[in-house]
Amino acid sequence: MAKFVSEKIKMKSAARLAAVQATYMIEYGQLSVDEVIKDFINGEVGRYVIDEEDFGHEELVEVGEMDTSYFAELVRGVHAKKEFMEKSLAHFLRDGWVFDRFDGTLRALLLCAAYELINTLDVDAKVIIQEYVDLAYAFFNKNEPKMVNALLDQIAKEVRAV
């Protein structure tokens, strides 16, 4: 039973990573939401990530199996509510910070995270925040992960307040 639960967790983590990548692709590519989802589910894109073991040494690592229905739900949900999500995120930014000026990957990550915090109340907010902070560390090595943590914590406190 514990192995099954662990596998489900890994599959949701993989779905979150793929959702961030797919959200980025939809924003900057020429494919529709359904085409991007299909390409990820069929394994045409998103099957590998680059693992930087040492400086100057990169290795392609296959991503584990993902929860395809969770992935598709996230991507479709983010796309359907993108304008609302962007406005919501902008509301939480400190003065002088503009969501549209963020790196595209960071925007995609924040959109997916905010969507999950607002719409998947069956998943603990701390779990969602930690998953996306971990993803931020995978993509960035400066202050972005700390900013992601602080921003998502603020959002969670407001949207999940009892």
Query: Positive or negative CA dihedral for 28, 34, 38, 40?
Result: positive
pLDDT score recorded for residue 60? 52
Q: Which domains does the chain have, with CATH numbers?
A: 2-159 (1.10.940.10)
pLDDT, one tens digit for every residue, the chain (162 residues): 566 568 888 889 999 999 999 999 999 988 899 999 998 888 776 565 555 655 566 665 556 688 999 999 999 999 999 999 998 888 888 777 778 888 999 999 999 999 999 999 999 999 999 999 999 998 898 889 999 999 999 999 998 875
**C-alpha span between 136 and 57 (Å, rounded):** 21
Q: pTM of this prediction?
A: 0.86
Distance from C-alpha of 116 to C-alpha of 32, rounded to nearest angstrom? 21
Contacts (Cβ under 8 Å, ≥6 apart) of 110: 89, 99, 102, 132, 148, 151, 152
For 79-124, the pLDDT digits (tens) are 999 999 998 888 888 777 778 888 999 999 999 999 999 999 999 9
